[in-house]
Structures are given as structure tokens and as C-alpha cells.
Amino acid sequence: MNASTLPVERVPLQPGSEGHKRAFCRMLLDTHDPYRPKAIEWPELPPDALARLTSLPIWNIAVQVEGKASISVRTYAGTTNNPLLREAVEPNAFEEARHKDVLGHMVSSYGIRLEPEPDYEPPRDPEWAFMKTGFSECIDSFFAFGLFALAKRSGYFPPALVDTFEPVIQEECRHILFFVNWVAWHRRNLPPWKRPIFAARVLAVWIVLIWERINTPKASAARPMTTTSRSPAAIPSASTSRRETCSISARPRTIGGWRFSIGG
């Protein structure tokens, strides 16, 4: 019997307990989807939707973010002495690398040419890099999930294209659920004198991420985008009477026997 097959306690979980750790690790392990990026069939897009997709100046950054996330998570997995935690973090790193492959196949399918990728070096501070990756996913997914829902409802992208990203969205939900529980578990298991240091590092990560998000639009605007599309497309503006607040759906999800929802 390996660490991932240990039974999960069916009792209220105490943050920082062994049962808490088993629960969030098993959640990630039990819900792993073995899909292959090459097997994804990207839908044919009408010319206007293709132009909107290829004109977005985000694909270089998106691919590189996933590449950095993969090496950061993989490096942290190699530093932990906890067998179950390492067993859960390793497929997390694999899934981050797979997200990069998914994006790579997508941009190739739609004629988007990317810049050469940089070398992804292992971070010198694995825990910092792991926290930066986890909190970054929390920020980016908060907006990305809403934008995906809005794009589907508004018809900005065909539903078939949005639905094709569903496995990636599901994985990001799982990564966030795992990470926020890891933060709570890890904090409780630190010696009392180290907890203020950990809290300071968490605050520092948030400051860095907010600063990066402020500067990301400037970097995107300065970076040329090369595609095979002949005409860029602007985002259509909605009339004032049709504008509405975009909220993330709280539809419950059930994966591998685990039931959870995102939203209120």
C-alpha cells in the first residue's frame, strides 16, 4: 500500500492535522485526469472568432507562465521529505507542464507563432517559487474563469472552443484547492517562532504578484504578436443597457467522488 491509498478520515478535519493533509493530497491524486494534449480536437473557428483569438497578445506569456510553474512545482516536490505530499505535488508539476503543451498545440492549430521559449531554470528558493505559483493561480484563475464564462455567454468565442479548455479549468480548480489547504496545513505545522516569518513571506509574495500584474499589460503591449491571421479584431463593446456584472458560476463540481464548487 502506497501513501496515496491510505484511507481518509470521515470526521471533521482539523487544519494542520494528518487527516487534513491526507484529504487534500488524496483530492489531487484521486482526481487526476490522464488526458493527452495531442488527443484534443480543436474546433474549426469561423473567420471572425479566429481573428479575435489570434489577435490576443497573451499567448507567449501564457505558455511561459506554465513552463515556469512546472519547474517551480517540480523543484519544490524534490525538497519535501513528506512522502504523501511529494506524491501529490509531483503530478501537480506534470499537469502544469501539460497545460503548456495544451497551449502549444492550440496556438499551433490556429496558426499563432510564438517567440522562442527561454530556459526554465530551477528556482533557488523552492518554497518561495511554489507559493508564488500557487497564489498566482489564485489571482489569474479568479479573472480567467469569469472571462471564460463571459466569452461563452456573449458568443465572443464559440462554446466549442471554451468547452475544449474544460480539462485545464478543472485542473486549475484542483490546484487552487490543493494549494490553499497546503498553506493552512504548512502554517500549522511550523514551529511558533517560524509562523510570523512564513506570514511575512506570504505577504511578500502578494506584493510581488500585484506589482507583476500591474506591469504585465505594459509588457504585453510592447511585445509584437505574430500570427497567420490577416486582420486583428477588437473586442466588441456592449451597449450600456446590456452590461451586467460578471460573476463566477457556483455550479457544484463532482470529480472522482469529490464534490466542490467555486463561488459563493
Buried b (16+ CB within 10 A) or exposed e, 195-228: eeeeeeeeeebeeebeeeeeeeeeeeeeeebebe
Q: Enter the pTM of the model.
A: 0.78
Most confident of 104-118, 198-212, 232-246: 198-212
CA 130 from chain center: how many Å? 13
Q: What is the CATH number of domain 20-32+46-226?
A: 1.20.1260
| Average confidence (pLDDT) over 148-159 | 83
97 against 256, higher pLDDT: 97
Distance CA 136, CA 138 (A): 5
Asked if residue 262 has pLDDT above 80, the reply is: no
**17-26, 40-49, 72-81, 238-247: which has the minimum mean pLDDT?**
238-247
pLDDT digits (tens, 9 = 90+) for 86-115: 999 999 999 999 999 999 999 999 999 888
Are 173 and 262 in contact by the 8 Å Cβ rule? The answer is yes
Asked if residue 247 has pLDDT above 80, the reply is: no
Q: How confident is the model at residue 159 (pLDDT cuts 50, 70, 90)?
A: confident
Distance CA 64, CA 55 (A): 18
% of the chain at pLDDT higher than 90 = 50
pLDDT digits (tens, 9 = 90+) for 184-203: 999 999 999 999 999 999 99
- Residue type for 2, please? N
DSSP the chain: --GGGSPPP-SPPPTTSHHHHHHHHHHHHHT-----GGG--PPP--HHHHHHHHT-TTHHHHHHHHHHHHHHHHHHHTT---HHHHHHHHHHHHHHHHHHHHHHHHHHHTTEEPPPPPP-PPPSSHHHHHHHHHHHHHHHHHHHHHHHHHHHHHTSS-HHHHHHTHHHHHHHHHHHHHHHHHHHHHHHTS-GGGHHHHHHHHHHHHHHHHHHHHHHHHHHHHS--EES-SS--PPPPPPGGG----------EEETTEEE-S--
Question: Which pLDDT score is estimated for 227?
Answer: 45
